[in-house]
Amino acid sequence: MSKSNPPTQRADSAEYLQRKSFFDQLITVYGRKPVLEILQDYSLKIFRVHLADSNRGGGIIDQIKQLAIQRNIEVCFHSRTELSRISRNSKQDQGAACDIHCPGYMPYRQALQTDQSATLIALDGVTNPQNLGMIIRSVTASPAYGLLLPSKGTADISPLVIKASAGTLFKGNILRCDSLLDALKDFKQQGYEVCTLSSHESTAITDFAPTAPIIFVLGNETEGVSREIAALSDHRIGIPMANGVESLNVAVTAALIAFRL
């Protein structure tokens, strides 16, 4: 006969999981102007503002402090070393960062537990920040559920990405993973199929009609998807080209696929 956990222990565990889920959904943005612009957007839920205690007063720093006070947002002061650990970019954080709570920004396993029929777009080695931002914008606006984004081999979420996404980064579903290969294997075990783009032996995108939950994988801007990801692929689709054009920008391709759904 097994012993059940005491009520207080279960409550503590539930509280811990709830807090962990909340912190998993935080996106940290750095740079004085990006932080100020985010504070000026009252539709965004900002958890905390971080400032270097070495910042001089006046200008944007004072505006950040005033807006934080108006919005009742906690402001934490740090040494430059501490702030660089928060921003993860000491060269460009300019002594300012903030944490934004984004419910759609989550570990991919969380999405697997809640929705096992969604259509996703995944990125394999997309390193250009502008392309990443434009892809986020297109996927967020499309019928696709969200974007599967690996932390390794992909552009970091930076002010350039935020600008290119036109702020949609904070509104859509972005599923995080460390390894895209491992994440795709997990999705396949749950009944998903993987589809990659190819110019050889492929089905035209206009003729492709998936019968199972599908993940479209877009590869690196110059080399395409990696061999390991290609080996997992269940389908290969192509976009017919005219006038001798060989390929499209990866962000344009993402938009075509997302809205073709």
Residue type for position 195: C
Asked, for residue 32, whether it belongs to a domain, the answer is: yes
Asked, for residue 4, whether it belongs to a domain, the answer is: no
How many domains are contained in the chain?
2
Asked, for residue 95, whether it belongs to a domain, the answer is: yes
Whole-angstrom distance, CA of residue 207 vs CA of residue 230: 20
CB 100, CB 190: distance < 8 Å: no
pLDDT in tens, 155-189: 999 989 999 999 899 999 999 999 999 999 999 99
> In angstroms, how far is CA 253 from the centroid of its own chain?
18
> Judging by beta carbons within 10 Å of its beta carbon (0-12, 13-18, 19+), is residue 18 exposed, middle or buried?
exposed
Asked, for residue 33, whether it belongs to a domain, the answer is: yes
37 and 138, same domain (yes or no): no
Token pair 């696929």: residue: 257
CATH of the domain at 30: 3.30.1330.30
Asked, for residue 16, whether it belongs to a domain, the answer is: no
70 and 119, same domain (yes or no): no
Tell me the three-class secondary structure of 46-108, residue by residue.
EEEEEEECCCCCCHHHHHHHHHHHHCCCEEEEECHHHHHHHHCCCCCCCCEEEEEECCCEEEH
164 and 46, same domain (yes or no): no
For 82, 128, 148, 219, the CA distances from 227, given in Å and listed in that order, are 40, 20, 18, 10
Asked, for residue 12, whether it belongs to a domain, the answer is: no
Which domain-ending residue is among 68, 101, 134? 101
Domain limits at 186?
Answer: 105-260
Q: What's the confidence (pLDDT) of residue 2?
A: 33
**Tokens at 122, concatenated:** 């995944």
Asked, for residue 170, whether it belongs to a domain, the answer is: yes
Q: What's the confidence (pLDDT) of residue 116?
A: 65
DSSP H helices in 71-223: 80-87, 108-114, 129-141, 159-165, 180-189
CB 127, CB 226: distance < 8 Å: no
For 113, 184, 186, 194, 201, the CA distances from 231, given in Å and listed in that order, are 26, 11, 15, 10, 14
Going residue by residue through the chain (261 aa), what tens digit of pLDDT does each one get?
334 455 555 556 778 777 888 888 999 999 999 999 999 999 999 999 999 999 998 999 999 999 999 999 999 999 999 999 999 999 999 999 999 999 999 999 988 887 667 899 999 999 999 999 999 999 999 999 999 999 988 999 998 999 999 989 999 999 999 999 999 999 999 999 999 988 777 899 989 988 899 999 999 878 889 999 999 999 999 888 889 888 889 999 999 999 986
Asked, for residue 82, whether it belongs to a domain, the answer is: yes
Residue 153's closest CA among 180, 174, 133?
180
Whole-angstrom distance, CA of residue 2 vs CA of residue 217: 45
